[in-house]
Structure 1
Amino acid sequence: MGEEQTTRVHCMVAEVKQVNLEHLPNWEEKQMFKQFMEDHNTATFPSKKYYSLDAYYRRKLEKEIKRGYKKAGQTERTVFNDEEQRRQEMMRVREKQKEEEVEALKRSMQSGLAQAMKEQAQLREEMAYQYKIGNFEAAAAIQRRLDPDAAV
């Protein structure tokens, strides 16, 4: 019995017969399967859903998206590779942390740059004041501090 067929049997038994297959004895499970096969062969399932579960859920999702019940990114989980999903989730978390660290570094650099610019403006004002009062040595020292590469 294929996996899709097993899923259809479980789905139909659970919904239509209101029975959990896992709690049935083997002989009842076999009898339910015979009934399922009879319905399958004669195409007398109680709903179109049981002929193709994938197509049914896809149509149902498309209808919900059209109605606006779900966003396009929210789909029913069909792949159960937990290790791969966890690895991808951890990669996203690490990438987000790196982005946050870069942003924090940018902010700290900008605040440090702003502080340095404020200090330079204060030094220029101090240098201008020292020139005005005639203290050329102090003004020259401030000039060297502001621009160490320039010749005075």
Structure 2
Amino acid sequence: MGLIDDVGILAIATRMQRLAEMMRKDGLQIYKDHQIAFEPKWFPVIYTLYHKPLLSVVEIAVEIGYTHPSTISLLKELEKEKLIRSKKDKIDSRKRLLQLTDKGQEMVTKMKPVWNLMIDAITELTDTPTNLLQAIIEVEQKLEEKSMAARAAAIHQSKGGSR
């Protein structure tokens, strides 16, 4: 165990990022093992467009919970790979609507059984007495109610701190 592991709750974001990176790396390996050239970071966009076939950039950003610039970056990669395409909205020509290409649809068809395999593996990993997914859901809900920054400010103020 390193210093970051020893510091406890202060390094929770670092530990979560490390866990996410390990899981993405394994996800990439699982895709490779099944001869699928797919980056796990593309998953939220591909999955969303599979279930909601025609969305604007803003709608995708809202669906996946990413910032607009992060979403644009992913969309550019996916367009370059020819997994998605865009077209102008008939009502508002400034708006781009995105959808999976035939190549993107075919990839989803290949990935669906792999996703089921991943669900089983992730369930096995997270099926602990504290249930990681449930804990994440609870923390996300608490963050929606009040940010960590707002909580820190309130704690600071309650301890007599000044700004």
Max radius of gyration: which structure?
1
Give the TM-score normalised by the residue count of structure 2. 0.25
Greater per-residue helix proportion: 1
Give the TM-score normalised by the residue count of structure 1. 0.27
Greater per-residue strand proportion: 2
